[in-house]
Amino acid sequence: MSLLTTQDITMKFGGLTAVNEVSMSIQPGQIHALIGPNGAGKSTLINVISGFYRPTSGKILLNEQEIQGKKSSTLSHLGISRTFQNLRLFKNLTVLDNLLIGLHNEIGNSFVSSMFRTPSHHKAEKQAKEIAEHLLHEVGLWTLRDMQTKSLPYGKQKWLEVARGLISKPKLLLLDEPAAGLNPTESDELEQFVRKLPEQGVTVLLIEHDMRLVMRLAEEITVINFGKKIANGTPQEIQNDATVIEAYLGKGRKHA
């Protein structure tokens, strides 16, 4: 059974069809890449799956339950989390506070604030801190936890964005160009980190520019172009797909 399936998802902005009847399935425990040229509709699809946009039409199933149109906070509670291509961090807060706030936002008011109002307030807060501290160690931000986020180098801010995506302990993490702007060492570290997510129970949908990274990490790849799915298969199948080479891979392999 697929963890997540989109069925003919379409997202229109006025006269522009950003995502056009895209059907795809993400298997549990998989690293699934979503690639395609700039403007292909990749981020829009993530925005729809994570509840930031309500699709114009189509269905999304999480463990066979329809979830299209649900709010992002509800979806977070159901186990879907995402990072933003353009980081959404609170620049004046510390690294640690960004994670703790992420936990409040992601899990949603109904859940956390009701939890925080109960007598177990302190326990919940302590648990949140423990999760945050564990993640800070994992992504190499522990020693920087009290720094103001805006004073972090860009690469570290990218890591914080990834950590924030994981704070709600998602089943499905949608990563929107996590390696963009990272130097080669940071990109290697990210690769190692993402590779280990499935064994920790996190299935990954990865949008990424860096084709080397995609081909090494992904078990399955879906390619979209002008909002339409043009191919789906293993990295090897995608690399040899004439339509994909024509639309995308042939053009210098630079843009995603």
Site of interaction with ligand ADP (CB under 6 A): 13, 16, 18, 36, 38-44
The values of phi and psi at residue 83, to 5°, are -110, 165
Whole-Å CA distances, 4 to 32, 41, 63, 106, 219: 11, 18, 6, 19, 15
128 or 157: CB nearest Mg ion: 157
**Shortest Cβ distance from residue 42 to ligand ADP (Å)?**
3
Nearest CA to 218 out of 35, 20, 82 is that of: 35
Q: Which is nearer to Mg ion, 129 or 209 (CB)?
A: 209
Window of 27-35, 84-92, 111-119, 210-218 that interacts with Mg ion by CB under 5 A: 84-92
Q: Which residues contact 123 (CB under 8 A, 6 or more apart)?
A: none
41 binds, among Mg ion, ligand ADP, none (CB under 5 to 8 A by kind): ligand ADP
Binder of residue 40, out of Mg ion, ligand ADP, none (CB less than 5 to 8 A by kind): ligand ADP
Residue 154: name its binding partner from Mg ion, ligand ADP, none (Cβ under 5 to 8 Å by kind): none
C-beta closer to Mg ion: residue 42 or 156: 42
Q: Which of 208/241 has CB closer to Mg ion?
A: 208
CB of 256 to Mg ion, least distance (A): 8
Order of all β-strands in the sheet with 228-233: 80-82, 172-176, 203-207, 31-35, 220-225, 228-233
43 binds Mg ion (CB under 5 A): yes
Scored b (16 or more CB within 10 A) or e, 80-94 reads: bbbbbbeeebeeeee
The binding site for Mg ion (CB under 5 A) comprises 42-43, 85
